[in-house]
Amino acid sequence: MYIKLTSFFKNYKYFLLYSALTPVICMALIYTVRKYPRIGQLYASYIFPIFPNTLGRLFSPLPFSVMEIGLYTISFFIIIALLIILLSIFHKKARKKLLLYVPRMVITTLCFCSTIFLMITLSCSINYSRDGIAKDINIVPGMASHDNLVDLCLLLINDITSLDSGSTEIKAINTASLQNDTKQAMMTLGKKYPSLKGYYPNPKPVIMSSWMSDIDLTGLFSPYTIEANYNNDVVDYIKPYTICHELAHLRGYICEDDAGFIAYLACSHANSRQMRYSGTMNALSFVLNALQEDSSPEEFQQILNQIPEKALIDLEKNQDYWQGHEGTISRISEAANDTYLKANAQAGGTKSYGRMVDLLLAYYGLNSQSV
């Protein structure tokens, strides 16, 4: 047994060294940028852009999500491997042959897990310590009153009214035009704010989008392939905003409130009326959720009564859609996402999505910092 272990360590020493040191190095990097955020900002500005410019460019021309296909492929091989292992247990010769491959399987698994951790660290975890979008565009989130929240809500409702609730036209947008419009919106925003300037790969619709809905996701940034994936099964007005949200992650803005606010800015500055409608509707949803918790039922209903009829129909469609996908899987997914966000220093967990309201208030000068 001792000889076999010695042989194992000797034959796979470099692989073992890689799988052991990689997590240690990753943890050291995460600790360093949390203790010294300036390093995190320098990384986001000068090192992270290498990934969108290499992996992002490499996979962008492909019409499908490489991450999605990769997940299916890995899952397939895992199932096949498990079946082979189970069948081999009942055959003596096959069992002996299988034992010869155990060391290689262990090493492959260890190296694979270490590589996954490394990619998440380099493309996500370090970027949590960068400056937020508020600092980069010179706004200061702060305390706001109930009246400020009402004013913001009415401002967004007025924007939707001026767009004449043209949400029905969004359904006519095909995948290609949707991809081009969202990329163009982000590039246009990049001309105004330098931290958003750079290469944007093509966003990818997920083939099994209904599965994404079952786990409560509208979009997903892939840290392994540097792709912006989006759920193509959701209500139409959600899609442009979601794509811009995921593209914001590719500029190193990993925090959800930052990415959501950037998506709103990109959509609201776009030439397309459908894009502007999408951004405003999604922003309004965040504000309505905050206002509902801070208002009486009567006051909240008065606000709802001012929303155009077509916009209300869209909001109801979206609510009905997600109610149809509620279940144990979505609750488990939300809990996992909450844990992940907290592990990356977002103390509010999934509630960090709601902090976008503070950014909207600051952007429109509706908080104490604007006085």
DSSP symbols for 224-249: TTTEEEE-TTS-TTHHHHHHHHHHHH
* Paired tokens of 230: 């989006």
Distance of CA 306 to the CA centre of its chain: 32
Note the pLDDT tens digit of each residue in 100-150. 777 888 899 999 999 999 999 999 999 999 999 999 999 998 888 889 999
Identify the CA nearest to 202 among candidates 220, 171, 178: 178
> Which helix (H) or strand (E) element contains residue 205?
strand 204-205
Percentage of the chain lying above the pLDDT 70 cut: 87
Q: Is the same domain home to 227 and 335?
A: yes
Examine the fold and report which residue of 99, 129, 159 is the final residue of a domain before the chain moves on: 129
Q: Is the same domain home to 216 and 362?
A: yes
Mean pLDDT for 286-301 is 90
Q: Is the same domain home to 180 and 125?
A: no
- Bridge-based pairing of strands 227-230 and 219-222 is antiparallel
Note the pLDDT tens digit of each residue in 196-234. 999 999 999 999 999 999 888 999 999 999 999 999 999
Q: Is the same domain home to 157 and 264?
A: yes
The answer, yes or no, to whether residue 349 has pLDDT greater than 70, is no
Note the pLDDT tens digit of each residue in 36-77. 999 999 999 999 999 999 999 999 999 999 999 999 999 999
Mean pLDDT for 174-188 is 89
Q: Is the same domain home to 150 and 273?
A: yes
Bridge partners, 227 (sequence order)? 222
Question: What per-residue confidence (pLDDT) applies to 89?
Answer: 79
Q: Is the same domain home to 257 and 240?
A: yes
DSSP code string of 159-210:
HHHHTTTGGGGGGG--HHHHHHHHHHHHHHHHHHSGGG-S--PPPEE-TTHH
Judge whether 360 and 287 are in contact, CB under 8 Å: yes
Q: Is the same domain home to 55 and 156?
A: no
Examine the fold and report which residue of 110, 129, 148 is the final residue of a domain before the chain moves on: 129
Q: Is the same domain home to 97 and 226?
A: no
Q: Specify the number of domains making up the chain.
A: 2
Report the amino acid identity of residue 251. Answer: R
Question: What per-residue confidence (pLDDT) applies to 292?
Answer: 87
Q: Is the same domain home to 209 and 329?
A: yes
Examine the fold and report which residue of 72, 99, 129 is the final residue of a domain before the chain moves on: 129
Q: Is the same domain home to 57 and 179?
A: no
Q: Is the same domain home to 330 and 216?
A: yes
Report how far residue 255's alpha carbon sits from residue 128's, in angstroms, rounded to the nearest whole number. 6
Q: Determine phi and psi for 227, rounding to 5 degrees.
A: -120, 150
What DSSP designation does 221 have? E
Judge whether 87 and 94 are in contact, CB under 8 Å: yes
Domain coverage including residue 150: 133-370
Question: What per-residue confidence (pLDDT) applies to 215?
Answer: 87
Question: What per-residue confidence (pLDDT) applies to 177?
Answer: 86
The model's confidence at residue 354, banded by pLDDT at 50, 70 and 90, is low
Identify the CA nearest to 248 among candidates 272, 225, 270, 267: 267
Q: Is the same domain home to 261 and 319?
A: yes
Note the pLDDT tens digit of each residue in 142-173. 888 889 999 999 999 999 999 864 444 544 56
Burial class (CB in 10 A: 0-12, 13-18, 19+), 52: buried
Question: What per-residue confidence (pLDDT) applies to 24?
Answer: 97
